Amino acid sequence: YRARVREEGTDDAERGAGMRAASPKYTLRNWMLQEAIDAAEAGDASLVAELLDLARRPYDEQSPARHARYFVRRPDWARSRPGCSALSCSS
């Protein structure tokens, strides 16, 4: 990698910008969608709208609140919940 970086002659900032342009920062996960489904079934569709907006702009920086909510590891509650941690063949 170091040899290729030297060969290309790009600096850290330029390489970082290229990586951010090619790799989305936010990727929808099953646990996020399950939260939205649960809320929608209870009559609150706001999480569905929020995830839709996030999915439309996955490369963009988001608000600090959205970053704290969605740029995280899977929460503990989702580790054992079907559809969030283990999927069946019919999923």
pLDDT per residue as tens, the chain (91 positions): 888 888 888 888 988 888 888 899 999 999 999 999 999 999 999 999 999 999 999 999 999 999 999 999 999 988 888 878 766 665 5
| CA torsion, ordered 34, 39, 43, 45, to nearest 10 deg | -80
Rounded to two decimals, the pTM is 0.74
C-alpha torsion sign, points 28, 33, 34, 38: positive
Residue 39 token pair: 């809320």
Position 87 scores a pLDDT of 63
Of 30, 49, 7, 14, the C-alpha closest to 91 is 30
Tokens describing residue 81:
């919940």
pLDDT of residue 91: 52
